[in-house]
Structure 1
């Protein structure tokens, strides 16, 4: 009989969760602990968030900016030195752009066209790309190096916005679409080393990022029914499935988790 959620699917595992101080990453870390992981390393640029969220769990906390490849490699080296292996990596670190969200909201309220791309700064573009895309490259590359001797599972948090793009949010959508393509290409390569790489593409989810989304942008409908936001735990359920042996035949998948807002 196969194991289900809550039955110790990760008994004795060593895991790393980036962006684990809040939202989806924090929910993933907590669920890994609850399902028997012997050690969960939690990396977040806001280390204090991690300490407040995880307390005395069997976690090791590091302040890591995923846009810094040396910092990412350092935490991987720390894990291997302490544990001798790394079984699961969940990359949940990412950023949005609150300035762009305000422009979208103001235009909607005024009934005027959204005019963002012409005014998008290089700094705004680079911030989103350096964390979302470059950060994914740094984490996945380092995880592959760590896992090649023994195999493992990597799950990356993408976004449904890569498919259902939001007007006025081109840099975020582009970063996540690139993350999907990068990870699917890597997945085909690293399966030869016993490494499974998959993605979860959440729709709107109740996280700190969502809290910065103006209310006017939140309500969407499917078949005349309002679609509620997912909880972080619901997305974490999907992540743990892909990281577990229950998904041993799943490689390079992008799992849509958006309550049917759209399909591809």
Structure 2
């Protein structure tokens, strides 16, 4: 699918989500943007009222993914692109990490994208659409946010590969983007020394801009022979 007509973005009020929604709208797509909090960040996207659908839902709950799927406009000919930006975590050292916080991180970063993908399978198949999940280089390197986040983002890569194999015969591609440190509220939660340590081993020596992640997502969504892949966008931190 070279032209994106309909796009669903989860976690749309985050830094990457807002940038992606804006780019999709500017390119003429209709966008359903899911958020749990901070709706004002999406309300700032003015001038697209006829193509932007805002849906408040908590995807970490059992009913949230179904609420999102039910909100897909009935006149859409399917979903061309689903981007799972939902997720995140706060940095916690292993000795301070509770089982409850570990489980909550897995719910928001792994279980929610899985549940949304499952809920939208029919619409994705109708459009011959694709899925892009957001992982992190932490899924490869461990990272500064702690074992809960690294484990969750590694699981997203596994989910992506498995879904790509199973859904390929139905015409659905599933890929993954793994950002490094991004200019975002989440990276801002790191200590200055931790961030400096990350950037010291990054080839470009800087954080990645949200718009650069959005551009990579859209490029991957149009790569019609690519599925099951994880594209690292981290300024040269994880070289492989």
The two structures have a TM-score, normalised by structure 2, of 0.90
Q: Distance in 1 between matches of 2:188 and 2:34?
A: 22
Tell me what 2:121 maps to.
144
Match of 2:70 in 1: 77
In our comparison, the structure showing a higher alpha carbon Rg is 1
Shift of residue 167 of structure 1? 5.6
SS at match of 1:197: strand
Instruction: Say if 1:50 and 1:61, in contact at 8 Å, map to a contact too.
Output: no
- Native 8 Å contact 1:97 1:124 kept in 2: no
The alpha carbon displacement at 1:237 in A equals 0.6
CA RMSD of aligned residues (A): 1.9
Call closer, same or farther: CA 1:207–1:141 in 2, change over 3 Å: same
Tell me the matched-pair count. 235
Residue number in structure 2 paired with 1:24: 16
- Once the 2 structures are TM-superposed, how far is the Cα of residue 63 of structure 1 from its aligned partner? 0.7
Question: Could you tell me how far 1:121 is from its partner in structure 2?
Answer: 1.0
Task: Report the Cα offset of residue 210 of structure 1.
Answer: 1.3
CA contact (8 A) 1:43 1:63 kept: yes
Match of residue 258, structure 1, among 228, 234, 237: 234
Give runs of aligned pairs for residues 16-55 of structure 1, distance below 5 A: 16-37=8-29, 39-46=30-37, 48-55=39-46
CA offsets per residue over residues 33-73 of structure 1, 9 Å max, x none?
11121x10100101523443323423110112121242212
**Where in structure 1 do 4 or more consecutive aligned residues deviate above 4 Å?**
none
CA distance in 2, matches of 1:231, 1:168: 19
- 3-state SS of the aligned residue for 1:163? helix
1:229 matched residue in structure 2: 207
Matched residue SS, 2:175? strand
1:15 to 7, 14, 22: 7
Would the alpha carbon gap of residues 226 and 28 (structure 1) be closer, same or farther in structure 2, given more than 3 Å must change?
closer
Q: What is the TM-score normalised by the length of structure 1? A: 0.83
CA contact (8 A) 1:184 1:198 kept: yes
1 CA distance for matches of 2:44 and 2:185? 13
Q: 2:54 aligns with which of 58, 61, 84?
A: 61
Residue matched to 1:97: 90
1:117-152 deviation per Cα after TM superposition (whole angstroms, max 9, x unaligned)? 233212211221110111121122122233223320
Unpaired segments of 5 or more residues in structure 2?
Answer: none
Provide Cα deviations, 1:60-103, integer angstroms capped at 9, x if missing partner. Answer: 101121212422122212215342411111110112124x1xxx
Q: Does structure 1 retain, via aligned residues, the 8 Å contact 2:16–2:85?
A: yes
Going from structure 1 to structure 2, the CA distance change for 1:150 and 1:249 (only over 3 Å counts) comes to: same
